[in-house]
Chain A
Amino acid sequence: MTDAFLLIGLPYLAVFTCVVGCYYRWRTSRYSYSSLSSQFLENKQLLWGSAPWHIGIIGILLGHAVAFCLPEVWNSLMSQRVVLIIVETIGIALAILSIAGLGVLIFRRLTSARIQAVTSTMDIVVVSLLMIQIILGLLTALQYRWGAAWSTGTATPYLWSLVTLRPDISYVADFPMLIKLHIVLAWVLVLILPFTRLVHLLAVPLEYLFRAPQLVIWNTRRRQENAIVAEIKTESRREFIKAAAGITIAGGLISIGAFDKLLNFFKGTPHDETAEVDILAKKLRRLQQTAEERALELERKKNEYIQIATLSELSPTKGKYFIDYAMNPGLVFKGDNGLPILISAKCTHLGCTVGSEVDGQGRILCPCHVSYFDVKTGKPNDEAPAKLPLRHFSWVLMDENGKIILRQNPGKPVEGEITPEVLARGNIYIVKPHEESA
């Protein structure tokens, strides 16, 4: 339980407090967003304190950060013994450097009367905690050797588990007390950061790298800009109020509906057997439909030819619908020569199904937007919204034994011998389109 709090609760609390606290301090007290320099009051000892401390701690933190952010890279490096030894040595050296520096800083702070005049309680808390933390880290490095290597399998996944919001302390639960203390103290330092001089971490002036040497501010220009901004703000406020009113009304209506639903939910639905039968029937119909479609698709996938009609049932004035290979509707008519005409029934305008009745001029009508298509050529009339002609399909005629007697590809002459008996008992098949031939 304690572990769970210190290793899961505390980290989240610390990060939350740190983010909110830093933001709040930035908004309300930007003036104090720095580390109060005391170099002016005491210069000599500061050199031997501040410089080694900052170099040491920045080096160590960088090492921690790389191991956390790039565990794989870090691991592959640490798997080489020489690199591992070098990294550990550098780490320990930096730790000693920063302990020495911090030692000087603490000594200076406690002994110089001038520095005491600018020292707050939090300053003492911070330097003490930092000192303890570094000593803990150094002891960890010495006592539990090769932390640079084992941390990627323990501390890093623990940290990542926190970052990914799936906290798992099993990685670090078996750590000895020393290392657990180091981790907990790290979270404590994050926790108190916004309330101490440590906020100067966030004041690193990186913008200095990129700015021009001179900085000139024109108040009159700034005033004009501010006036424009103010104008935009009032304008957008007006818009905002309008939008807010709209949203409120819509939201009100929706919430009335939601409230009704909520009431119904708590009341529970009344048990009605006929309604249930209806719903089940609907479901069944939907399933059947799906099954049919699937069967048709399967059939089209398997077969080169699909029977769509017999020749004898065709009429020149009334088409028979069928489903083509693309699962779209098609129409088959009897032509002048007694042979079938297979034409797509999917309107080239917006995809409606074209009607099957042939009018006096040999045309079929799409009822949606009144396009007349010539059955023989497939072409639409001039005034029609559809501009492209309907496609004709390839077909074959087979006898009852499945022997191909006649074959026609669109726009090509009929292959095979036409005899009356063939016409009398032929079955019409649509031919699977082949991308290559098309």
Chain B
Amino acid sequence: MDVRAQVSMIFHLDKCIGCHTCSVACKNIWTDRPGAEYMWWNNVETKPGTGFPTHWEDQEKFNGGWKLNDQKDLKLRSQNKADAFLKLFYNPNQPTMEDYYEPWTYKYADLFSAPAGNDQPIAIPISQVTGEPIDIKSGPNWDDDLSGSPIYAENDLNLDKLTEEERNQLFEVERLTMFYLPRICNHCANPSCVASCPSGAIYKRGEDGIVLINQEKCRGWRACVAACPYKKIYYNWKTGKSEKCILCYPRLETGQPPACFHSCVGRIRYLGVLLYDAERAVEAMKVSNPSLVEAQRTAILDPNDPKVVESALKNGISDEFIESAQRSPVYKYVMEWKIALPLHIEYRTMPMLFYVPPLLPVMGKSLNGTYEQTGEGFFTGLAESRLPMKYLASLFSAGNTTVIEDVMKKLMAVRYYKRQTSVNDMDVSQILRESKLTAEQAQAIYELTAIPTVYERYALPPLQREEAIENTCSPQACKGCSGLGFNEAPARGC
């Protein structure tokens, strides 16, 4: 047993209102530099939708993540050791700026310097790459709230698994449904970006599992951009370096949650330590698609098990870290209640960011073309939900609908339970039994979901700044200058 600690995350999708405050917080701190304007280390997508970059889930096109070969070994989809060298010259798996968008600003000076005339002056949009006027065709959240649009939502790859009838149902204008999917780097336990980097610049921090890119070592071969199936590594075209979400490690090291967590209006984000078995992490990802979610759970270790604690201590994980793992909200959601699932685990990178799937579009149903909330029970059954289980399964359980239904039943049971405790008009014991929850668990889920304190949401491990090697200058001091994490300006990109 090779115990590692991982700072992992829960995003509770039922609570996300799609306000992009997280994205803006991140942008303001980290990616408002030349060459990084188009990067959104944190972005929020509307689902169904094509996402950012467009069709990032299309691994036929981008070849991200791992695949199982005939010998049941994990191989990078994007390259092998030999052709990685050919791909230095030209990498066919690269996304280009067209897949994201061309960043722009406005010529605000024109508002003040325009000659007097009959019309109001306007600030025209100009490209932040060339400085030329551009015709804006897309942006980072271009499909925001457009779940019914034929260009965006209907092209969502996860809909491929649906039957024609289900698709039609989903897109009947009256029956439009959508939810939001905020995404940051998953800080995977088996990261394909690390494995693909020719320069060995990307690494996982042993203490907390944060995946970082050493900007001095990065030579800009961009193999990681292709290899990351979540397209959460971005190439800075100005500095020639790849950049990614750093889980705000400078904030973590001073006891603050990452900026996107801190700023989250809906308080959907939870942060805590998971202990996992690094030996199991790769093995677990070698099973067939439907078993992947369960396999990942077997690699995650119980922080209260004395044997685990002993091996953890042997591995140099501090007492404080283990203590923080024992009160981790992530462990509760993922392992105790099993209601948080990884995103697209079929990419086999073992993502360590988990989502509580959204119940709200599932609860409502339509009857005769109108939104109905009545039925045989207070809530509707899963089979009649507006958002097909297959669609959620395609996102969160590698196509295994049983896993999703189990989660949904639990989430519904908590609601029934709360209605029962506050209104006392139904018997929930049968429902709780079916969903394999106890009344205490239902109460605990309710408490951690609806009324948690900040300390319950963020069980921050006591990282010490003096333990860190990557000392950065203050983000404020580096503003306007590229080159993340440097105390002096790099040679290019300023």
Contact = CB atoms under 8 A, between A and B. Distances in A.
B96 interface: yes
- Which of the listed residues B190, B220, B238, B490 has the most CB atoms from chain A within 10 Å of its own CB? B220
Contact of B130 (A31, A54, A113): A113
Nearest to A208: B198
B219 A221 contact: no
**10 closest A-B pairs (Cβ-Cβ)?**
A218-B206, A205-B198, A213-B195, A32-B491, A36-B240, A34-B219, A208-B198, A215-B203, A113-B130, A54-B89
7 contacts: A32-B490, A32-B492, A36-B240, A47-B92, A113-B132, A203-B199, A205-B88
A76 interface: no
Interface string B461-480: 00000011100000000000
B446 interface: no
Contact of B195 (A55, A205, A214): A214
B280 interface: no
Interface in A41-62: 41-43, 46-47, 50-51, 54-55
Nearest to A217: B203
B469 A215 contact: no
B316 A51 contact: no
Contacts of A46: 90
B290 to A, nearest CB: 25
Contacts of A204: 85, 88
Contacts of B490: 29, 31-32
A55 B85 CA distance: 12
A39 B129 contact: no
Contacts of A118: 237-238
A215 B194 contact: yes
B220 A36 contact: yes
B200 interface: yes
Nearest to B94: A39
A63 to B, nearest CB: 19
A51 B237 CA distance: 20
B383 interface: no
Contact of A223 (B98, B202, B215, B467): B467
Contacts of B202: 215
B58 interface: no
B137 interface: no
Given A37-B235, A200-B219, 15 more contacts: A31-B215, A37-B240, A38-B237, A39-B90, A39-B91, A113-B132, A114-B130, A118-B237, A204-B85, A207-B199, A207-B200, A208-B198, A215-B204, A216-B205, A218-B316
A209 interface: yes
Contacts of B238: 118
Contact of B205 (A40, A114, A209, A217): A217
A41 B240 contact: no
- B: interface residue count bin: 35 or more
Nearest to B89: A54
B492 A36 contact: yes
B483 interface: yes
A208 B81 CA distance: 7
Interface string B82-105: 001100111110111110000000
Contacts of B483: 31
A220 interface: yes
B222 interface: yes
Contacts of A213: 194-195
Interface in A11-42: 29-42
A29 to B, nearest CB: 4
B276 interface: no
Given A32-B491, A39-B96, A222 B194 contact: no
A211 interface: yes
A213 B84 CA distance: 13
Interface of B: 4, 81, 84-85, 88-92, 94-98, 129-132, 190-191, 194-195, 197-200, 202-207, 215-216, 218-222, 235, 237-241, 316, 467-469, 483, 486, 490-492
A51 B90 contact: yes
Nearest to A205: B198
Nearest to A54: B89
Contacts of A33: 219
Contacts of A214: 190-191, 194-195, 204
Contact of B206 (A114, A209, A211, A219): A219
Contact of A41 (B90, B97, B221, B492): B97
Contacts of A31: 215-216, 239, 241, 483, 486, 490-492
Contacts of B90: 39, 46-47, 50-51
A234 interface: no
A33 to B, nearest CB: 7
A51 B206 contact: no
A403 to B, nearest CB: 90
Nearest to B74: A213
A31 B216 CA distance: 5
A55 to B, nearest CB: 8
A209 B83 CA distance: 11
A208 B194 contact: no
B97 A40 contact: yes
A40 B237 contact: yes
- Which of the listed residues B96, B197, B203, B240 has the most CB atoms from chain A within 10 Å of its own CB? B240
Contacts of B239: 31
B222 A40 contact: yes
B469 A219 contact: yes
A31 B215 CA distance: 7
A117 interface: yes
B206 A205 contact: no
A29 B489 CA distance: 10
B237 A30 contact: no
Nearest to B202: A215
Interface string A188-229: 000000000000100111011101011111111111000000
Given A33-B219, A113-B130, A223 B198 contact: no
A216 B129 contact: no
B203 A216 contact: yes
Contacts of A113: 129-130, 132
Nearest to A213: B195
Nearest to B130: A113
Contact of A37 (B92, B97, B222): B222
Given A38-B237, A51-B90, A214-B191, A203 B206 contact: no
A117 B239 CA distance: 12
A43 B96 contact: yes
Interface string A94-133: 0000000000000000000110111000000000000000
Interface in A369-385: none
Contacts of B97: 40-41, 114
A208 B200 contact: yes
B162 to A, nearest CB: 32
A32 B240 CA distance: 8
Given A32-B492, A40-B237, A50-B90, A219 B467 contact: yes
